[in-house]
Structure 1
Amino acid sequence: MATMTLRIDDHDSELIKKFAQIHNLSISDFARQAMLGKIEDEYDLKELREAIATDDGTRFSMDEVHDELGL
């Protein structure tokens, strides 16, 4: 397992510690979740932009989707 060091000012440090404590997270768990969440958000945004760029305007009703899936 790798170790990373993060340099932040005292005010941000206290804010992060309090947030993690309120949510019953270690600082490592909070940092890991926040960083991986940011990566996932950027990936999702990239996928959305690609979907919008290739959208041909075709839409299906919920009934059509259910029929197609045999629901």
Structure 2
Amino acid sequence: MSTISIRLNDKDDTLIRKYAQLHQMDLSSFIRQAVIEKIEDEYDLTLFNKVWEEERYQDRISHDDLKKALGL
């Protein structure tokens, strides 16, 4: 297991510690979770943008039209 050190001003340090405490998390777990979520969010957005660019000009049909086509 590795260790990462970050520098924070007093205001940010207090904010982060109080937030973790409010959610009953130890500081290390909170920071790890926040960083992983940030990476996942950015990855999801990148993937969405890629798919959007690939498919945005394709023909689409509404749910109602699909149901009609399927006889539902």
Q: TM-score range by the shorter chain?
A: 0.7 to 0.9
RMSD between aligned residues: 1.9
- Cα drift, residue 57 of structure 1: 3.6
TM-score, normalization by structure 2:
0.78
Task: Please tell me whether residue 61 in structure 1 is matched to residue 63 in structure 2.
Answer: yes
Larger radius of gyration: 2
Q: 1:33 to 1:59 in 2, by over 3 A?
A: farther
Alignment deviations for residues 21-56 of structure 1 (CA, whole Å, 9 cap, x no partner): 000011101100110111101100001101110112
- Unaligned 5+ residue runs, structure 1? 65-71
Q: 1:35 to 1:57 in 2, by over 3 A?
A: farther
- Unaligned 5+ residue runs, structure 2? 67-72
Counterpart for residue 29 of structure 2 = 29
**Distance in 2 of aligned mates of 1:38 and 1:12:** 18
Identity %: 38
Runs of 4+ that moved beyond 6 A: none
**Within-5 A mapping of 1:1-71:** 1-55=1-55, 56-59=58-61, 61=63
Aligned residue-pair number = 64
